[in-house]
Amino acid sequence: MEPLLSIRNLRVAVDGREILKGIDLEVCRGEVHAIMGPNGSGKSTLAAVLAGREGYEVLEGEVLYNGQNLFEMEPEERARAGLFLAFQYPVEIAGVTMATFLRTALNEIRKARGEEALDPLAFLTLARERMEWLGIDPSFLHRAVNEGFSGGEKKRSEIFQLLLLEPQLAILDETDSGLDIDALKIVASGVNRMRAPERAFIVITHYQRLLNYIVPDIVHVLFDGRIVRSGGRELALQLEEHGYDWLRTDGETVVLPTLE
Amino acid sequence: MPTQQDELLERLTGSEYKYGFVADIDEELAPIGLNEDIIRFIWERKGEPEWMLEWRLRAFRHWRTMEEPRWAKVVYPPIDYQAIRYYAAPKKRHVQSLEEVDPEIRRIFDKLGIPLEEQKLLAGVAVDAVLDSASVATTFKEKLAQLGIIFCSMSEAIQKYPELVQRYLGSVVPYTDNFFAALNSAVFSDGSFVYVPPGVRCPMELSTYFRINAARTGQFERTLIIADEGSYVSYLEGCTAPMRDENQLHAAVVELIALDGAEIRYSTVQNWYPGDREGRGGIYNFVTKRGICLGKEAKISWTQVETGSAITWKYPSVILKGDGSIGEFYSVALTNHHQQADTGTKMIHIGRHTRSRIVSKGIAAGRSNNTYRGLVRILRGADYARNYTQCDSLLIGNACGAHTFPYIEVLNPTAVTEHEATTSKIGDDMLFYCRQRGIAEEDAIALIVNGYCREVLNHLPMEFAVEAQKLLAISLEGSVG
């Protein structure tokens, strides 16, 4: 099966400093990949480059999404083609209600899929259903985008958007950070509900904890801009046990203990 | 390396002014320059009574003793007042009915989306159309007259209702008020006049559309609205001008008078030619607008959407004289390219239990400068007066400026004033967030700007809120239109 996302030897610099030093990764539909790594390993850079944020210089390599060169697509084109990023730090937009913002977004995406635009009523019906899945109060839609949201509300809002926009590839950038265990469970239940044979997830996290609730098919360890190991779920548990010090570099080479 | 933001700004600043055409109509022109003979010329052409000539000459003589104000945060070369034409009026304008309006004039207003046939107009909107120095048509006059409402050009009011005009003209903005008000009093040529009798609720929006057409000509209109006891009127003005490399002067005066329990809503959608992307040309808009709540529990509400003009100098104000009266000011001022706006309001609390509310939204893009300047003055006798001011600035790009000068003077210890201010920026982060959700950059900006202005746009009459929303988008877009 052709992978949904295929990253080959991706090298990326920010302000002239190389952050990603040759990433290879294939993600197929139906899979959940976890990317773990210490702070500064390049996790969020990878998410940002895939979504098309400015200020990242691609030095080498290519990324194919559905067989298309991702770097030839504008950020909004990627979004309309089903690539979704749950932001680590969603921005506030004063005066624009969640309802207006998300109906505009959903209708842009639907247009790209060749579907009819949803009128306000149909949108509300759909949005309310998805909000219920996450236990979000209906008044949420009338609030300004992310304005005055608590940390937990922001994360829940990102997952709600995922549920609403039904992407093909969802990238969760440290969605678990700052969440208590109850909020974490709710967020995870939303994601699990969306798991489907035609959809893939990349879950970026610092901690193993989230992976107790969103069980990944494959775990990758990102360290100093490279994927230094990939494995099953047990890899995450080992990281939890030994910590990232386990991966400290020794000169140029990464020292990795052999897994039994 | 040019960022996407730069490219976007490039596109924004490339936007076209849609109303920049010039029409070839036969106009009667005064010689260029200003002296007492020119004032007599205007007075004669308009066939005004003797007292108007005296009024004009008094204003002119006072004006000559005055200095152009320079305290606003705007920069422009000195204006040569002797290089301006003070009167230009279409020759074929004296008509008995709307059907007789010169087809060429009709075409101008059709092109601007203001058809002068009543059946084509938005139901519920009466229009007075002013071209350069003269009113060329007023619609729905008869229908309004049945209710006792007078809606006509200022020239007609001077002829037909001299007692009302003499009583109220200059009563809110005397010719001594400021340099531009004095100039306007000397040379004003037309404008709209409204009188709503006691207890009458005006059933339709009244509106004036101001159009500058002639070159090297200033427009000096004068609007006077009187709402008698317990009456209500909503009034809207719109304005456009041709694209020219020279700067043209527009110095209007608007006076509103609300008696006991009367309410006046005055809305402006100002879209004078703003100049080109290098800052060449555009209208200098020096306008004095002021209302007085003369009676108890009267209410005056200003709403303005300012997107045009090279320079905007404008402070629609309310004098709250009657006890329990209310003054409101809702403003969106958008500047792009090299535009400069110095705008705000004055709320003068005289009566007891008077209340005022100021909501100002400034948006600066390109290399423009956008200034809010406001005064809240609570006088000694204004027991329990209240003011709430909210003053927000939004910046797009890195080359523009937003400035705020709020003045608050409170002489009464029982008064309460509140002032809130924010400055924000449409940053790359905000745009990226929208784009990651599938919304293209220009649509994202329009969405953000409209959201930011929503509170003000909600105060416009419904039909115009939609227009204003589009206008904001057009003023920011490059590829659309």
Q: Where are the domains of chain B?
A: 4-476
Residue from B307, B317, B452, B453 nearest B370 by CA? B307
Q: A208 or B138, which is more confident?
A: A208
Rounded to 10 degrees, the C-alpha dihedral B422/B427/B430/B434 comes to 130
* pLDDT tens per residue, range B272-316: 777 777 778 888 899 999 999 999 999 999 999 988 888 899 999
What contacts B472, CB < 8 A, 6 or more positions away? Answer: B305, B307, B332, B334, B446, B449, B450, B453
Residue B125 pLDDT = 66
The contacts of residue B408 (CB under 8 Å, 6+ apart) are B375, B376, B387, B417, B419
Q: Taking 90 as the threshold, does the pLDDT of residue B55 lie above it?
A: yes
CA gap B465, B481 in Å, rounded? 19
Q: Are B362 and B400 in contact (CB under 8 A)?
A: no
Residue type at A138? P
The answer to whether the CB of B187 falls within 8 A of the CB of B30 is no
> Are A79 and B3 within 8 A, CB to CB?
no
Contact A26, A6 (CB under 8 A): yes
User: Is A56's Cβ below 8 Å from some Cβ in B?
Assistant: no
**CA of B442: which chain A residue's CA is closest?**
A76
* Cβ neighbours of residue B103 closer than 8 Å, sequence gap 6 or more: none
What token pair was written down for B357? Answer: 């509310």
Specify the range with the lowest mean pLDDT, choosing from A72-86, B269-283, B367-381, B425-439.
Answer: B269-283
* The dihedral formed by the CA atoms of B11, B13, B18 and B19, expressed in degrees to the nearest 10: 180
Q: Is the pLDDT of residue A186 over 60?
A: yes
Q: Is A51 on the interface with B (CB under 8 A)?
A: yes
Cα–Cα distance between A242 and A258 in angstroms, integer?
13
Q: Which residues from B are below 8 Å from A78, CB to CB?
A: 436
What integer is the mean pLDDT of B442-467?
84
Interval B102-106 mean pLDDT? 72
Structure confidence at residue B396 (pLDDT): 86
Distance from C-alpha of A149 to C-alpha of A35, rounded to nearest angstrom:
27
pLDDT winner (highest mean) among A98-107, A148-157, A228-237, B76-85: A98-107
SS3 A254: strand
> A54, B428: Cβ pair inside 8 Å?
yes
Mean pLDDT within A209-221 = 94
Instruction: With CB atoms and an 8 Å threshold, state whether A52 touches B438.
Output: no
Kindly provide the residue ranges of all beta strands, DSSP E only, lying in A80-179, ordered along the sequence.
Answer: 83-86, 93-97, 144-145, 169-173
| Helices first, then strands: H and E counts in chain B | 11, 23
Q: Which residue, B389, B406, B400, is CA-closest to B424?
A: B400
CA-to-CA distance for B213 and B428, rounded, in angstroms? 41
Residue B223 has pLDDT above 60, yes or no: yes
Write the DSSP symbol of residue B85: B
Rounded to whole angstroms, the Cα distance separating B207 from B139 reads 10
Q: What is the DSSP-derived secondary structure letter of residue B467?
A: H
Name the residue of chain B whose CA is nearest to A55's CA: B3
Distance CA B67, CA B264 (A): 33
Yes or no, beta carbons of A91 and B451 under 8 Å apart: no
Chain A residues closer than 8 Å to B447 by CB:
96, 100-101, 104
Q: Which of A80, A90, A144 sits opposite B438 (nearest CB)?
A: A80
Which pair of structure tokens corresponds to residue A255? 């020292």
Spatial contact of A204 and A35, defined as CB atoms under 8 Å apart: yes
Angstrom distance (rounded) from CA A22 to CA B41: 82
Nearest CA in chain B to A164: B437
**Residue B232 predicted with pLDDT over 90:** yes
Q: Which span out of A250-259, B53-62, B336-345 was modeled with the highest average pLDDT?
A: B53-62
Q: Is the pLDDT of residue B480 over 60?
A: no
Q: Point out the residue among B4, B430, B438 whose CB comes nearest to the CB of A93.
A: B430
What average pLDDT does this structure show over B134-163?
Answer: 87
Nearest alpha-carbon partner for B304 in B468, B131, B422: B468
The sheet with strand A226-231 has its strands ordered as A83-86, A169-173, A200-205, A32-36, A218-223, A226-231
Strands B88-90 and B27-29: antiparallel
Q: Which amino acid is at B255?
A: E
**Mean pLDDT, chain B, whole residue set:** 86
CA distance B261 to A243: 75
Please, are residues B275 and B245 in contact by the beta-carbon 8 Å criterion? Answer: no
Tokens (6 digits) for B406 = 């709020």
- Over range B398-408, report the average pLDDT: 92
What residues contact A89, with CB distance under 8 A and at least 6 apart?
none
Question: Which residues, other chains included, contact B24 with Cβ-Cβ below 8 Å and sequence gap of 6+?
Answer: B104
Calculate ∠ Cα A161-A205-A65, nearest 5°. 60
Give the distance from residue B405's alpha carbon to the nearest chain A alpha carbon, in angstroms: 23
pLDDT band at B57 (very low <50, low <70, confident <90, very high): very high
Which residue has 């629609």 as its token pair? B316
Tokens of B326: 């209310």
> In angstroms, what CA-CA distances link A195 with A29, A134, A182?
10, 15, 20
Is A124 a residue whose pLDDT tops 80?
yes
Please, which residues bridge with residue B288 across strands? B253
Task: Give the C-alpha separation, A239 to A241, whole Å.
Answer: 5
CB pairs under 8 A between A and B: 81
Nearest residue to B359 (alpha-carbon basis) of B372, B350, B377 = B372
- Say what the pLDDT of residue B113 is: 67
A187 has pLDDT over 80: yes
CB B376 within 8 A of CB B389: yes
Tokens of A62: 């290519």
Per-range mean pLDDT, top range of A133-137, B30-34, B346-350 = B346-350
Chain B neighbors of A143, CB-CB under 8 A: none
Q: Any idea what DSSP says for residue B398?
A: S
Q: What is the pLDDT of residue A106?
A: 97
Q: Does B428 sit within 8 Å of A112, measured CB to CB?
A: no
pLDDT > 60? residue B445? yes
| pLDDT given for residue A221 in this prediction | 93
Pairing of strands A200-205, A32-36: parallel
Residues A165 and B437: beta-carbon distance below 8 Å: yes
Tokens of residue B395, six digits: 């910046």
Contact present, B339 and B313 (Cβ < 8 Å): no
Distance CA B310, CA B246 (A): 11
pLDDT above 80 (res B477)? no
Judged by a CB distance cut-off of 8 A, whether residue A58 touches chain B is: no
DSSP sequence for B129-161: EEETTEEEEE-SHHHHHTTT-EEEEHHHHHHH-
**ipTM above threshold 0.85:** yes
Q: A245: exposed, middle or buried (C-beta count within 10 Å: 0-12, 13-18, 19+)?
A: exposed
Per-residue model confidence (pLDDT) at position B1: 39
Quote the CA–CA distance of B447 and B469 in Å, as a whole number.
10
Q: Is the pLDDT of residue A172 over 50?
A: yes
CA distance linking residue B464 with residue B234, whole number of Å: 12
User: What average pLDDT does the structure give for chain A?
Assistant: 91
pLDDT band at A253 (very low <50, low <70, confident <90, very high): very low
| CATH superfamily of domain region A5-254 | P-loop containing nucleotide triphosphate hydrolases (3.40.50.300)
Tens of pLDDT, residues B311-362: 899 999 999 999 999 999 999 998 888 889 999 999 999 999 999 999 999 9
User: Among B192, B189, B118, which Cα is nearest to B153's?
Assistant: B192
pLDDT band at B219 (very low <50, low <70, confident <90, very high): confident
Which residue has 């790209």 as its token pair? A112
**Residue in B closest to A100 by C-alpha:** B447
Question: Nearest 5 degrees, angle CA B85-CA B86-CA B89?
Answer: 95
Separation of CA B43 from chain center: 25
Average pLDDT, stretch A97-101? Answer: 94
| Pair A190, A130: CB distance under 8 Å | no
Lowest mean per-residue pLDDT among A120-124, B30-34, B264-268, B306-310 = B306-310
